[in-house]
A and B are shown apart, each in its own frame.
Chain A
Amino acid sequence: MITLIWIELQKIFKKWRTYIGFIAIGTLVIIVQIALYFTGDNYIKAMTRGFQDSFIMVGNLFNGYLVANLVLGGLFIHIPFLIVLVGGDLLASEATAGTYRMLLTRPVSRLKVVSAKFCAGLIYVFLLLAWLAFLSLGVSCLIFGTGELLSFSGKLIIFSRDDVLWRFAGAYAYSMLSMSTVFALSYFFSSMVENAIGPIVATMAVIIIFIILSALPIDFLKDISPYFFTSHMIHWSNFFNDPVDYQKIMESALILGVHILGLYLVTTYLFIKKDILS
């Protein structure tokens, strides 16, 4: 199984499209860092405008933690686009290229093939988020230094510098779960078609539709929106609340986990039953 995963990783990382995600994140983060480097003070002023008369702000509030938090919030809705570029391609590209015929006439079970691809895809998601964390948190801390984290989610919270890193660890771990759900959905679509464009468009369409439906101020939609997986993808931000709502995080994580498992099982079933006609 490890050999199979390694082979799949080689296939993923030998493709140009795999690097689009890394390049896009790199470019965006660097642009945000440059912009904040020159105009960051104005951002802090704007953020604390309502409190400046009542409080005296001391210490390094504009720091790497703040930049990382901003980037994570800003990029979180764009990363799914980068995930599906690879997830939607994993199975469909084999059908398009005709390599299913080569791959599935080997003495390896289809269960192992589909599972190895799934694992390799999850590793890609992990590496993409690790890259995001490295650039937005690691590099930002090097450029802007560390300090207290100013977080605004309905109310302004200032976390001491000792109380920040574990929150980021939790947020990135939760992001991994959210993005894995997106990956699993694109992988599921990828198993049903013979062209990678279809799964990419279908996955994004599902995400956009669910997000729009959740945002509409209609009672019925508000009642059903907790059942949309997209409603649970955003709870990484709970790690930057005080106190952290662990119950909410665990519930949402469980729902995302069930989605991932369910999509994997359905994909596996379809793949094992599939007639290879391409």
Chain B
Amino acid sequence: MSEQIIEVRGLTKKFKNITAVNNLDLNVYRGDVFGFLGPNGAGKSTTIRMLLSLIKPTSGSIKIFGYSIKEKREEILRKVGAIVEKPDFYLYLSAYKNLEIFGKLSGADVSKKKIMEMLELVGLSKRANSKVKTYSHGMKQRLGLAQALLHDPELIILDEPTTGLDPQGMKEIRELILYLSRTKNKTVFLSSHILREVELIATRMIIINKGSAQVEGTVNDLLNMDKLTVTFEVDKIDTAKTIIQDSAWKEKLVSSTNRELSFELIYNDIPALNKFFVENGFSVSSIIPVRSLENFFLKITEGNGK
């Protein structure tokens, strides 16, 4: 197993009588794009703030690069780049000046060439001298990435980096994260409340809810090997229900309506069942696979929304 970059044990944060993070364990390894997934209010940002020593844990330990954040805060932060929630800048200063200031504080090379290179990377070089107050949310988000990368950190902590971006912007950020991970061998800790976003780029992930870990593992394990709930929309639904009851597929039927039949299947079962319907003279209008993890995550999200 590769070097452990983040090791969190029993992390708890209480605000008076509210437990924001509850006995959380985390393991992030070198080269991971680690998805930190949870609905709004799950405790993601509080955890990130503790990782970056913005707030102090009530109990538990945090080690980054093998050192305790409590004891070696400055050494650790020298090798960490981060966006915590939305990136906020000095609005009365230009993007260039903001990067220069944050770069100096991080011990980065703040030569004009380096800053302009970074602004070019995030597509802001033409607006380098504009005051940040004239920037859109998406542009600030990109500038946030630039400040997180300027000092060439080994670990990049991104808290919902695609929030407020249009689909093209989201895609560009995802590509940038993949580039950093695959080409530059950076470790990325990516917090998000969107499962789709995490599964597209993460190698490992954890889902947290109400401050506690729900599931953790590699994205492949959690998504691909998992069972799917597949909904078939077919014509002649009553006849279809009867035929299914007389077949081996009966065991896999989980629910039915007057338009659809839902089955719990593994991925390879989908074409076989489709073939079964077609060979028995049914027209299949749609097949909608939903992974159990997605259902699980949706349940969590819906529960929080209520």
Contacts and interface: CB of A to CB of B under 8 A. Distances in A.
Interface of A: 3-4, 7, 10-11, 14-16, 97-109, 275-277
Contact of B84 (A7, A15, A101, A106): A101
B55 A102 contact: no
Given A10-B101, A105-B82, A105-B84, A275 B77 contact: no
Interface residues of B, number: 32
Interface of B: 49, 52-56, 73-78, 80, 82, 84-93, 97, 101-102, 104-107, 147
B88 A7 contact: no
Nearest to A15: B92
A103 B106 CA distance: 10
Contacts of B76: 107
Nearest to B78: A107
Contacts of B55: 275-277
A98 B106 contact: no
A272 B210 CA distance: 28
A258 B101 CA distance: 33
A108 B88 contact: no
A274 to B, nearest CB: 9
Contacts of A109: 73-74
A132 to B, nearest CB: 26
Given A7-B104, A107-B75, A107-B77, A275 B54 contact: yes
Nearest to B79: A107
A114 B33 CA distance: 35
A107 B56 CA distance: 17
Nearest to A276: B54
A4 B102 CA distance: 11
Contact of B90 (A97, A101, A108, A277): A97
B105 A106 contact: yes
A108 B54 contact: no
A108 B106 CA distance: 8
Contacts of B97: 10, 14
Given A107-B73, A109-B74, 12 more contacts: A4-B105, A7-B105, A10-B101, A98-B85, A99-B90, A102-B89, A102-B102, A103-B105, A105-B82, A106-B77, A107-B107, A275-B55
B105 to A, nearest CB: 4
Contacts of B82: 105
A101 B147 CA distance: 12
A102 B88 contact: yes
A18 to B, nearest CB: 11
- A97, A103, A104 — which one has the most chain B CB atoms within 10 A of its CB? A104
Nearest to B98: A102
Contacts of A275: 49, 54-56
A13 to B, nearest CB: 11
